[in-house]
Copies of this chain bind each other. A is one copy, B any other.
């Protein structure tokens, strides 16, 4: 374990997160998440979330493929390509295996219709990236990438969180490791590099609008699970 800390106040991401204040807090401390930490979330809500999250991952992989196309250097292309591979060849098989433990098969998830909230979030991200450039795309992806790391860090630091006997413990563990924190740290670093070369400072108002909407749609995604 590298022990490198997740610094959420750094750089462009830190500024976006601060300025999205209320929306960000509503996302990372959503009741779905708090109940998951407390182990009180209804299994049916979690299962609905798991099925939609599978469909979400497919679109998420497409978003990184799009980032690959939108690369202007070979290094950017390699990073994006590694992300697609990580999603389709590592994350998705892990997700499928985990879902099997909840009685959900891959075939069932592939046949599931996408919920309104899944469509809203994923197509918003993809379309923001298509209409804009790679910076617009990466900003739209940040709430997901870094948010999950923050959600889990805060849950683990929260006395209301139950680890022993929590049916969602394995889910927490999956995002609590050093590996996922490294993914989030690298994403924060990469955004600064990309922001510097693509004029983030002058484009800040538009980038913040994208970030806030993506954050709002992430919260709606938790809510989708929660209110079923």
Give the interface of A toward B (CB within 8 A). 58, 61-63, 65-72, 74, 77-78, 80-81, 84-85, 88-89, 92, 110, 113-114, 116-117, 119-120, 123-124, 126-127, 130-133, 136, 196-203, 206, 213, 217, 220
Contacts and interface: CB of A to CB of B under 8 A. Distances in A.
Stoichiometry, copies per complex = 4
Question: Secondary structure at chain A's binding surface: helix, strand, loop or mixed?
Answer: helix
Closest 6 CB pairs of A and B: A199-B199, A65-B68, A123-B123, A120-B120, A199-B202, A133-B133
B66 A65 contact: yes
B89 A77 contact: no
A129 B8 CA distance: 33
A202 B206 contact: no
Nearest to A82: B85
A88 B114 CA distance: 31
A81 B85 contact: yes
Contacts of A197: 202-203, 206
Contacts of A92: 74
Contacts of A126: 69, 123, 127, 130-131
A61 to B, nearest CB: 6
A83 to B, nearest CB: 10
Nearest to A66: B69
Given A65-B67, A123-B126, 18 more contacts: A58-B77, A62-B71, A63-B69, A65-B84, A66-B69, A68-B84, A72-B131, A74-B110, A113-B213, A114-B213, A116-B120, A116-B217, A117-B120, A120-B120, A126-B127, A131-B133, A198-B199, A200-B202
21 contacts: A58-B74, A62-B69, A62-B131, A65-B80, A65-B81, A72-B131, A74-B92, A74-B110, A81-B88, A81-B89, A116-B116, A116-B220, A119-B120, A119-B123, A120-B123, A123-B126, A123-B127, A197-B203, A198-B199, A199-B201, A199-B202
B130 A133 contact: no
A61 B72 CA distance: 12
A213 B114 CA distance: 9
A206 B70 CA distance: 14
